[in-house]
């Protein structure tokens, strides 16, 4: 073959590849930019959810309603104002994220509604109810639900009932709480627990659980019903002068005081007089969410858990239980929560995985998914930016991820905030790599972030706003190319 024939062949092959990538991207992103038509006569259940709670609750309401009504369930990101204006009955199930802000799949809709109010949009045909999910530890408790409720009323919609607020801090998770109370959950078993950073004052553990028929995808979350330690239960019984062997019936089930207290909030003050009334007034403990660190094909559900110490020196309820109190072989009551916002689509484009601390869990799961030999099409490259505290004590990445074993081009940047020579956070690394980030986005790349919202999640978001601008970041959110699992 002559030189010019070789050149021509290379050109033709490149063209074919570009067309193939173009078709894949077009097929993937076009549906996200065009809203599906929604049957106007249906009962609309619209949700906005960052980590899946509001979505799961919306689905439960839909399952309950669907025998009598034609029901449409949709995220707010798929709902147009035109459809809403022609809808007569709707239920909104929305959580709050950030500092009183909408979740990512409610943000664009909320901005459109805010603008529409100024342009006198009429929602007079609409009667709605709203369930707002939030957590009263936050300053703006159910802040997004409140704002959305007001905006809908300003547009002329009629509220059929007052805003219902569900407080995660009080264990109020709507219908899904019922299944924990009645035991309708996955019972997993603790198989193994290893501290990854043996010399660190901030212990980080890898925890392996097993469970029959448990299935999940990278990006999913495990909601765990934590248990009180035996010492805390004994202390509570003693201080309330109640015998742990006291037997009683509650909702047709036989209990002993000790067993009942396993999953109850022990610090709840009570005015009840009889021991049974005091016991049954205690609410169920609030569930804790952990990003699953493995993929189903590994046959082990792994978590990466930071052991938290409270100001009084005691270990955090769930992290203390998982990393210290619970014995191997013990059952763990938990539910796998599907989190489609973090099911990263498989596309032949670059993938940037960003995480810090226990956010390593999400990175590990995504990496396991994208480095599987059978995956197709492959990301053109995987870039991993991981942050921890001390390079001496917390350099744990390679213990949980085999970065040399990926079938695609891989780049790893590790940064340490307590590095004496060069202290840096992941957001600093992003700012330093601004041109490469722009390039990655230009090539259709996707970004996944996992770890604490305060500090890391906010810092990464601000860095992306600084590098790409607000419109581009919103565009990434709308196209579901920016996946946030920050907690
Ligand atoms: C990063 C982050 C920020 C949050 N900010 C608020 C807030 O400002 N106000 C509030 O009431 N709840 C806040 N929450 C609590 C969530 O709304 C609550 O956990 C809810 O159940 C999450 O539902 P979702 O999984 O549908 O997003 C926040 C949760 C996270 C993880």
* Best of 45, 94, 97, 169 for a ligand 1 pocket test (most atoms within 8 Å of beta carbon): 97
344-486 matches 182-337 in CATH topology? no
pLDDT of residue 17: 72
Report the separation in Å between the CA atom of 159 and the middle of ligand 1, taken as the mean of its atom positions: 23
pLDDT for 404: 84
Residue ranges of E strands in 295-426 = 301-306, 331-337, 351-356, 381-388, 409-416
For residue 339 and ligand 1, the question of a CB distance below 6 A is answered with no
Torsion of CA 476, 479, 482, 484, to 10 degrees: 130
pLDDT in tens, 96-116: 999 999 999 999 999 999 999
The Å distance, Cα 141 to ligand 1 centre, comes to 9
Show me where the domains of the chain are located: 43-177, 182-337, 344-486
pLDDT band at 372 (very low <50, low <70, confident <90, very high): confident
β-partners of residue 248 are 255
pLDDT higher than 90, residue 35: no
Dihedrals phi, psi of 124, to nearest 5 degrees: -65, -25
The pLDDT tens digits of the residues spanning 440-452 come to 999 999 999 999 9
pLDDT (tens digit per residue) in 111-137:
999 999 888 889 999 999 999 999 999
**pLDDT one-digit tens code per residue, 284-312:** 898 999 999 999 999 999 999 999 999 99
CA 449 to centroid of ligand 1, rounded, Å: 17
CA of 141: how far to CAs of 51, 75, 167, 170, 243, in Å? 17, 21, 8, 13, 38
95 CA from centroid of ligand 1 (Å): 6
Q: Look at residue 185 in the predicted model and tell me its pLDDT.
A: 72
Model's pTM, two decimal places? 0.91
Q: How many A from CA of 83 to the centre of ligand 1?
A: 27
The CA distance from 73 to 63, in Å, is 10
Q: Which of 134, 137, 451 gets mutated to test ligand 1 (max ligand atoms within 8 A of its CB)?
A: 134
Kindly tell me if the per-residue pLDDT of 23 is higher than 80.
no
CA 310 to chain centre: 24
Inter-residue contact 480 to 341 (CB < 8 Å): yes
- 338 within ligand 1 shell (Cβ under 6 A): no
CA distances from 397 to 177, 289, 426 (A): 35, 22, 14
Ligand 1 mean position to 328 CA, how many Å? 32
The fold for domain 182-337 equals Elongation Factor Tu (Ef-tu); domain 3 (2.40.30)
Rounded Cα–Cα distance for residues 122 and 265 (Å): 46
44: left (phi over 0), alpha (psi -120 to 50) or beta: beta
Who contacts 74 (Cβ-Cβ below 8 Å, separation ≥6)? 36, 38, 44, 45, 46, 47
Say which residues have a Cβ less than 8 Å from residue 140's Cβ, sequence separation at least 6. Answer: 96, 99, 100
Kindly state the average pLDDT of the residues 6-12: 78
Topology (CATH level 3) of domain 344-486: Rossmann fold (3.40.50)
DSSP secondary structure code for residue 199 in this structure: T
pLDDT at 121: 86
Residue 228 near residue 264 (C-beta atoms within 8 A): yes
- Cα(22)–Cα(29) distance, integer angstroms: 10
The Å distance, Cα 366 to ligand 1 centre, comes to 23
Among 102, 91, 160, which residue's Cα sits nearest to residue 131? 91
Q: Which atom of ligand 1 is nearest to the CA of 339?
A: 25
Residue 184's pLDDT is what?
A: 55
CATH of 43-177, one of 3.40.50.360, 3.40.50.10490, 3.90.226.10, 3.55.50.30: 3.40.50.360
**What is the rounded distance in angstroms from the CA atom of residue 405 to the CA atom of residue 172?**
43
Query: From the alpha carbon of 457, which atom of ligand 1 is closest?
Result: 1
CA 146 centroid distance within chain: 22
Residue 370 confidence (pLDDT) above 60: yes
Please work out whether the CB of residue 138 comes within 6 Å of at least one atom of ligand 1.
yes
């Amino acid at each position: 073959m002559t030189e010019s024939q070789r050149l021509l062949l290379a050109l033709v092959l490149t063209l074919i590849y570009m067309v193939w990538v173009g078709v894949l991207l077009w097929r993937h992103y076009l549906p996200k930019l065009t809203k599906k038509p929604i049957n106007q006569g249906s009962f609309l259940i619209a949700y906005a959810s960052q980590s899946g709670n509001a979505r799961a609750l919306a689905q439960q309401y839909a399952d309950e309603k669907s025998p009598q009504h034609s029901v449409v369930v949709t995220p707010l990101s798929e709902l147009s104002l035109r459809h809403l204006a022609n809808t007569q009955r709707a239920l909104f199930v929305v959580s709050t994220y950030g500092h009183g802000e909408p979740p990512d799949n409610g943000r664009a809709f909320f901005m459109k509604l805010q603008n529409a109010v100024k342009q006198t949009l009429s929602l007079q045909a609409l009667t709605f109810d709203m369930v707002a999910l939030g957590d009263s530890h936050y300053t703006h408790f159910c802040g997004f639900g409140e704002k959305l409720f007001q905006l809908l009323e300003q547009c002329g919609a009629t509220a059929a009932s007052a805003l219902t607020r569900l407080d995660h801090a009080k264990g109020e998770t709507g219908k899904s709480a019922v299944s924990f109370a009645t035991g309708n959950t996955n019972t997993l078993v603790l198989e193994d627990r290893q501290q990854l950073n043996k010399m660190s004052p901030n212990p980080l553990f890898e925890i392996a659980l097993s469970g029959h028929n448990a299935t999940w995808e990278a990006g999913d979350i495990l909601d765990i019903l934590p248990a009180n330690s035996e010492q805390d239960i004994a202390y509570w019984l003693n201080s309330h002068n109640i015998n742990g062997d006291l037997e009683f019936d509650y909702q047709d089930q036989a209990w002993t005081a000790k067993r009942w207290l396993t999953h109850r909030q022990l610090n709840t003050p009570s005015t009840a007089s009889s021991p049974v009334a005091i016991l049954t007034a205690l609410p169920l403990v609030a569930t804790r969410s952990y990003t699953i660190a493995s993929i189903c094909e590994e046959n082990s559900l792994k978590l990466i858990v930071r052991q938290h110490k409270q100001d009084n020196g005691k270990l955090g309820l769930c992290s203390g239980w998982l990393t210290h109190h619970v014995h191997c072989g013990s059952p763990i009551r938990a539910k796998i929560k599907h989190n489609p916002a973090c099911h990263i689509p498989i596309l032949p484009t670059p993938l940037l995985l960003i995480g810090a601390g226990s956010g390593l869990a999400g990175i590990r799961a995504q990496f396991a998914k994208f480095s599987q030999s059978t995956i197709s099409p492959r990301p053109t490259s995987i870039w991993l930016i991981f942050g921890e505290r001390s390079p001496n004590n917390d350099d744990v990445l390679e213990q949980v991820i085999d970065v040399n074993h990926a079938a695609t081009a891989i780049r790893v940047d590790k940064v340490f905030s307590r590095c004496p020579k060069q202290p840096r956070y992941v957001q600093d690394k992003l700012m330093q790599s601004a041109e490469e980030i722009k390039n990655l986005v230009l090539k259709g790349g996707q970004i996944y972030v996992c770890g604490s919202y305060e500090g890391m999640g906010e810092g990464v978001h601000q860095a992306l706003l600084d590098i790409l601008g607000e419109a581009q970041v919103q565009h990434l959110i709308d196209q579901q190319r920016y996946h946030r699992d920050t907690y």
